[in-house]
Amino acid sequence: MNMPHNNDSASSSPPREPSSASSAPLREPSSAFSHSQLHLPDEELLHRCISCGFCLPTCPTYNASLLERSSPRGRLRLIKAVAYGELPVSDIFAEEMSYCLACRACETACPAGVQYGKLAEAARAFVREQRPPRFWPRLLRTLILEKIFPYPNRLNLLGRLLYWSQRLKLPEIGLATGVLKLWPALARITPLAPRVAGKFSHQIVPAHLPARGARRGRVGVLSGCVAGLIYPDVNLDTVEVLARNGWEVVVPPQQRCCGSLHGHTGDHATAMMLARHNIDVFLAAGVQAIIVNAAGCSSFMKEYDFLLADDPEYAEKAKTVAHMTRDICEFLAETGFTPPLTRGDGGDKVRVTYHEACHLAHAQKIRSAPRRVLAAIPGLALVELPESDWCCGSAGIYNVVRHKDAEVFLERKMKNIESTGASIVVSGNPGCSVQLEYGARSRGLALQVRHPVSLLAEAYRSENGAERET
In angstroms, the CA 229 to CA 391 distance is 24
d(CA 389, CA 200): 30
SS3 track for 115-151? CHHHHHHHHHHHHHHHCCCCHHHHHHHHHHHHCCCCC
pLDDT of residue 32: 44
pLDDT at position 401, please?
A: 85
Please name which of 41, 1, 2, 121 lies closest in space to residue 310, comparing C-alpha atoms: 41
Q: CA 171, CA 250: separation in Å to the nearest integer?
A: 37
CA distance 219 to 242: 9
pLDDT category at 84 given cuts 50, 70, 90 is: confident
Mean pLDDT of 6-16: 37
Which region holds residue 41: left if phi is over 0, alpha if psi is between -120 and 50, else beta? beta
Q: What is the mean pLDDT of residues 5-28?
A: 37
Other CB atoms within 10 A of residue 286 CB? 9
At CA 387, angle to CA 385 and CA 392, rounded to 5? 95
Nearest to 407, CA basis, from 419, 396, 418, 393? 393
- Is the per-residue pLDDT at 137 higher than 90? no
Query: What's the pLDDT at 175?
Result: 86
Res 349 pLDDT > 80 = yes
Q: How many CA atoms lie within 13 A of 81 on its CB side?
A: 16
* CA distance to 262, 277, 293, 386, 401, per residue, from 254 (Å): 19, 9, 18, 41, 30
Model confidence at 17, pLDDT cuts 50, 70, 90, reads very low
Model pTM above 0.85: yes
CB atoms within 10 A of CB 466: 9
Give the whole-angstrom CA distance, residue 262 versus residue 258. 9
Least confident span in 7-21, 146-160, 162-176: 7-21
For residues 454 and 265, the model is more confident at: 454
Q: Domains of the chain (ranges plus CATH)?
A: 28-130 (1.10.1060.10), 135-192 (no CATH), 201-335 (1.20.1050), 350-462 (3.40.50.1860)
Provide the pairing of β-strand 325-327 with 289-292: parallel
Q: Which range, of 38-42, 80-84, 174-178, averages the lowest pLDDT?
A: 38-42
DSSP state of 378: T
- Report the pLDDT value the prediction gives residue 379, as an integer from 0 to 100: 93
Cβ count within 10 A of residue 294: 32
pLDDT score for 50: 93
Per-residue pLDDT, averaged over 340-357, amounts to 83
Check if the beta carbon of residue 325 is closer than 8 Å to that of residue 298. yes
Cα–Cα distance, 322 to 304 (Å, whole number): 6
